[in-house]
Amino acid sequence: MTALRQDGFLGGRLALWQPVAGYRAGIDAVLLAAATPARAGQGVLELGCGAGVASLCLAARVPGLSLTGVELQPAYAALAGRNAAETGLPLEVVTADLTALPPGVKARSYDHVIMNPPYFRRDCGSAAPDPGRETAMGEATPLADWVAVAARRLRPGGRLIAIQRAERLPELLCAAAAVFGAIELLPLAPRPGRAAKLVLLAARKGRQGPFRLHPPLVLHEGAAHLGDGDSYTAELTDILRHGVALSWPG
């Protein structure tokens, strides 16, 4: 792996190692953690945990969780383990392909499965020059397989929380509807009046309920970026800087 640096998350509450070049988690991972309604004593599995940012942000917000992260790339799995050790947060990291999970993971059922699958189909674009970034961002395992693995690892009534690009929503919904119920979608719009680029999906295993499409969560104030600073809305600032949970509408 290339050189590393520590990045601050949750307003500097967490300092986590990530590669200077290659795949680097950003606000997507923080939003995924914030959208997960976990409670103390519950078990959470993250598929494709990378350097552990989403799981560790969740652990920082909700003490008393049992967290397991599965990561395909050994170098990123090692970073996740290092980040967990240095922060003192309870993340067990397993280096494995999610389609060939080790017996210790397959023997367990979880209350929540969280995931940020690769955004880009490689039959629709070019590969990233950095191998680590390419593996993290370029889909090798079909999106439907990610959803199916999540369903198998969840206990009845357990929740899947996923974040994905809006253009992949038809695939994600099709896969989720085959094995989950009570599906909710929260579009993430960059600015007021702009089309959502990302979506958060929540679904329950073995539960029935109407499909719910929520109004977009707007990330930035104003119609355009006009100066220095990130211009996040007050709600996003609370989530990103202060570790506040994301409130699903309704």
Q: Average pLDDT in the 182-197 region? A: 95
pLDDT score of 130 more than 50: no
Q: Chain centroid to CA 179: how far?
A: 20
The whole-number pLDDT of residue 122 equals 45
Percent of the chain scoring above 70 in pLDDT: 89
Residue 153: its H or E element:
helix 143-153
Structural domain boundaries of the chain?
A: 25-242
Is residue 220 within 8 Å of 244, Cβ to Cβ?
A: no
Residue 18, C-beta contacts closer than 8 angstroms, at least 6 positions apart? 4, 5, 6, 7, 24, 25, 51, 53, 79
Q: What is the mean pLDDT of residues 53-63?
A: 97
Average pLDDT in the 43-71 region? 97
Top CATH class, 25-242:
alpha beta
Instruction: Write down the mean pLDDT value for the chain.
Output: 90
Q: How many CB atoms lie within 10 A of CB 160?
A: 25
Joined together, the tokens standing for residue 11 give 């307003």
